[in-house]
Amino acid sequence: MGYSRGFGVQSPSAYSFLRYVVNEHYPYYAYQNLKDESGDVSPLITKLSRFYFRMANFSQSKFWYDYKACNDIYQKYVVAGCKSTSFVSFDEIDSIDTFQIARMSLYGDYQKVYNHLASIANNDSLLIIENIKRDKITRKFWKQVVKDNRTFVTYDLYYCGVVFFDSNKCKCNYMVNF
């Protein structure tokens, strides 16, 4: 049982995502170089940066939209994860009419940003929401995202949440020890 790595997940696509993207522990080719370039950063920033590296590699999107990026480390990891991805940092949502992958922090007018992104999302769109457990208000917001009729598969990774808008999937929320 200790070697199963099943996460208690029955869905093959959810299992694959958890196993090979979220909880992949293999040291990717660029991790050491990126760590050397980034200098001394907190373990949480390193953990999230590596996750975003794997997400960029997973999605292979032309654009990575990032709302309220707190540092340029994320950009380095995303671009290293997929060389053909352009990192687009934004504070205003007016210029975005479609997206495949986006990340947002729960700062500023995040509810407006979320509602806009959810309204333009398609079956290929996925959204990463950072700081979902920061305080009572953000925990409540995350619960609303999970219940939202526009979202289908959600992953609560404690430090961030991942939202898939694929209407071909059954609505499900996974809580994962990330």
The domain spans of the chain are 12-175
Residue environment code for 103-141, b if the CB has 16+ CB neighbours within 10 A, otherwise e: bbbbeeebeebbebbbeebeeebbbbbbbbeeeeebeeb
Query: Using CA atoms, how far apart are residues 4 and 94, in angstroms rounded to an integer?
Result: 46
Contact 142, 161 (CB under 8 A): yes
Digits of tens for pLDDT over the chain (178 positions)? 344 455 667 778 888 888 889 888 777 778 888 888 888 888 999 999 999 999 999 999 999 999 987 778 999 999 999 999 999 988 777 678 899 999 999 998 999 999 999 999 999 999 999 999 999 999 999 999 999 999 999 999 999 999 999 999 889 999 988 7
Q: 101 near 61, Cβ under 8 Å?
A: yes
CATH superfamily for domain 12-175: Vaccinia Virus protein VP39 (3.40.50.150)
Q: β-strands 86-90, 63-67: how paired?
A: parallel
* Predicted model pTM: 0.91
Q: Which helix (H) or strand (E) holds 147?
A: helix 136-147
Asked if 120 contacts 144 with a C-beta cutoff of 8 angstroms, the reply is: no
Which residue shows structure tokens 């380095």?
A: 76
Look at the block and give the residue holding tokens 């806009």: 116
What distances in angstroms separate CA 79 from CA 32, 62, 64, one per listed residue? 15, 10, 9
